[in-house]
């Protein structure tokens, strides 16, 4: 069933039947268009949900009910996407894109609005804005606070709400960097430099919504509690959660991808979504986490 009421931008592009097309081809192309329209709408819903769950510097504790409902919606979409194979396509596209050079331009969602500050600081090109989501993602509404450290920093809970380092360390240009964190950009830059040294692969800049998503449940709800250390990251999951390539939106890619066999089983994905939600990053995190930990502790002591 199509979620109605979505913006028509996506449907519009796919809706015009080619003039003078075959009768034979027409029904199937219409069906294909419908399918792709549905999956585009579903994708935009997923992106919208992930933005809503994004963490930005905020003063008031987020609404847990809202966060739970959004997280459940995200889970539902991802389960469906796993079932029809779309999820595997995305991850394949990601790994392909990772091999290529700059994927930063191909991020999903209106990251431009969200990351303007950070990106300017880091000198990365601004990503294309995602029209369906627009600039509403980071409005004054309540947004869930990121829980920063999965690796079990005691002060993780506290720090996640105050320190902007968390999102940038993991997601340097995609998430929840509210303009009010501008003054701490310098710190973020240092953080990234350090992490770059530690980073083994190209993953440093590649964390994205999917990563965020797998950790979403934990981050969203973890803020409210002081947590135990998470288990060590699984390299397989890391591969799974590399960048999403915007070329996914290209109809051809989607259609082609649908016919190829999925590389990864569904269980990896579901597993990561459901329970542990460990950090998908590899050894790079351990370097960064130590530094983060130290900084956080210093912040507590200093009382900033």
Partner 1 sequence: MLNPIQVLCSDITSLSLEPEPFASYTEADIISTVEFNHTGELLATGDKGGRVVIFQREPECKTEPFSQGEYNVYSTFQSHEPEFDYLKSLEIEEKINKIRWLPQQNAAHFLLSTNDKTIKLWKVSERDKRPEGYNLKDEEGRMKDLSTVTSLQVPVLKPMDLMVEVSPRRVFANAHTYHVNSISVNSDHETYMSADDLRINLWHLGITDRSFNIVDIKPVNMEDLTEVITAAEFHPHHCNLFVYSSSKGTLRLCDMRESALCDKHSKLFEEPEDPSNRSFFSEIISSVSDVKFSHSGRYLLTRDYLTAKVWDLNMENKPLEIYQVHDYLRSKLCSLYENDCIFDKFECAWNGSDSVIMTGAYNNFFRMFDRNTKRDVTLEASRESSKPRAVLKPRRVCQGGKRRKDDISVDSLDFTKKILHTAWHPTENIIAIAATNNLYIFQDKLNQEMHG
Q: Smallest Cα–Cα separation from 148: which of 157, 135, 140?
A: 157
Does residue 227 touch partner 1 according to CB under 8 A?
yes
Minimum Å distance from CB 138 to partner 1?
13
Residues whose CB falls within 8 Å of the CB of residue 131, separated by 6 or more in sequence, listed in order: 7, 9
C-alpha dist (Å) from residue 142 to 52, 105, 198, 274: 9, 28, 34, 24
Does residue 123 touch partner 1 according to CB under 8 A?
no
Q: Smallest Cα–Cα separation from 284: which of 189, 170, 187?
A: 170
Among 217, 246, 254, 269, binds partner 1 (CB under 8 A): 217
Minimum Å distance from CB 227 to partner 1?
7
Minimum Å distance from CB 152 to partner 1?
13
Does residue 164 touch partner 1 according to CB under 8 A?
no
Residues whose CB falls within 8 Å of the CB of residue 81, separated by 6 or more in sequence, listed in order: 42, 46, 87, 90
Does residue 297 touch partner 1 according to CB under 8 A?
no
Does residue 59 touch partner 1 according to CB under 8 A?
yes
**Which CB, 74 or 103, lies closer to partner 1?**
74
How far apart are alpha carbons 146 and 167 in whole angstroms? 7
Residues whose CB falls within 8 Å of the CB of residue 259, separated by 6 or more in sequence, listed in order: none
Does residue 247 touch partner 1 according to CB under 8 A?
no
Q: Smallest Cα–Cα separation from 133: which of 67, 61, 50?
A: 50
Minimum Å distance from CB 175 to partner 1?
18
Binding site for partner 1 (CB under 8 A): 1, 3-6, 41-42, 45, 48, 52, 59-61, 63-66, 68-69, 71-73, 76-77, 136, 141, 145, 157-158, 161-162, 217-218, 221-225, 227, 274-277
């Amino acid at each position: 069933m199509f979620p109605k009421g979505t913006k028509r931008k996506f449907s519009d592009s796919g809706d015009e039947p080619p003039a003078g097309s075959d009768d034979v081809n027409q029904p199937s192309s219409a069906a294909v268009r419908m399918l792709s329209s549905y999956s585009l709408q579903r994708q935009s819903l997923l992106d919208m949900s992930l933005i809503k769950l994004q963490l930005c510097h905020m003063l008031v504790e987020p609404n847990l009910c809202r966060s739970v409902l959004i997280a459940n919606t995200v889970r539902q979409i991802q389960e469906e996407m796993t079932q029809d194979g779309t999820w595997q396509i995305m991850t394949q596209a990601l790994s392909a894109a990772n091999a290529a050079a700059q994927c930063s331009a191909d991020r999903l969602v209106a990251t431009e609005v969200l990351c303007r500050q950070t990106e300017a600081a880091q000198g990365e090109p601004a990503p294309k804005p995602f029209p369906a989501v627009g600039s509403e993602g980071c409005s004054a509404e309540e947004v869930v606070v990121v829980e920063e450290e999965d690796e079990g920093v005691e002060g993780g809970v506290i720090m996640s709400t105050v320190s902007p380092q968390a999102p940038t360390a993991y997601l340097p240009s995609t998430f929840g960097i509210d303009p009010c964190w501008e003054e701490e950009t310098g710190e973020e830059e240092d953080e990234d430099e350090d992490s770059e040294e530690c980073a083994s692969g190209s993953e440093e800049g590649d964390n994205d919504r999917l990563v965020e998503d797998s950790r979403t449940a934990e981050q969203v709800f973890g803020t409210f509690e002081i947590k135990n250390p998470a288990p060590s990251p699984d390299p397989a999951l890391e591969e799974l959660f590399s960048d999403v390539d915007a070329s996914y939106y290209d109809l051809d890619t989607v259609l082609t991808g649908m016919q190829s066999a999925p590389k990864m089983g569904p269980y990896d994905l579901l597993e990561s979504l459901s329970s542990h939600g460990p950090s998908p990053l590899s050894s790079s995190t351990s370097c960064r986490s130590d530094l983060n930990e130290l900084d956080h502790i210093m912040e507590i002591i200093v009382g900033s």
